[in-house]
Amino acid sequence: MSIVKIDKKGRIVIPKKVRERAKLKSGSYVKIRTKEKEIIIEPLEPIAEKYFGIYKIVKWPEDLDEFIVEVMKKWQ
């Protein structure tokens, strides 16, 4: 368990030991949801790694994860 302080902009820092245990690196994506008064942060598997080799693509976007996030925003 870790105790962290929320800053004026509502941000928190996830402690290094927690990030390491969850295998989070700089640039990783997480899903944040609430359940009653709980805030749940779940790591997301990188999309590029999950689907690597499944499709033959002539030219991949430079950052596939960012590309997918933008596409998903447009679908909503």
Burial 5-37 (b: 16+ CB within 10 A, else e): eeeeeeeeeeeeeeeeeeebeeeeeeeeeeeee
For residue 50, what pLDDT band results from cuts at 50, 70 and 90? low
Confidence of residue 73 (pLDDT cuts 50, 70, 90): confident
Query: Amino acid identity of 2?
Result: S
Tens-digit pLDDT profile for residues 7-17: 999 999 999 99
pLDDT band at 58 (very low <50, low <70, confident <90, very high): low
Adjacent-strand bridge partners of 32: 41
Confidence (pLDDT) at 56: 60
In the chain, where are the structural domains located? 1-44, 45-76
pLDDT at 65: 81
- 16 to 8, 21, 32, 62: CA distances (angstroms): 21, 9, 18, 28
Of the options 2.60.40.770, 3.40.50.1970, 2.10.260.10, 2.40.160.40, the CATH number for the domain spanning 1-44 = 2.10.260.10
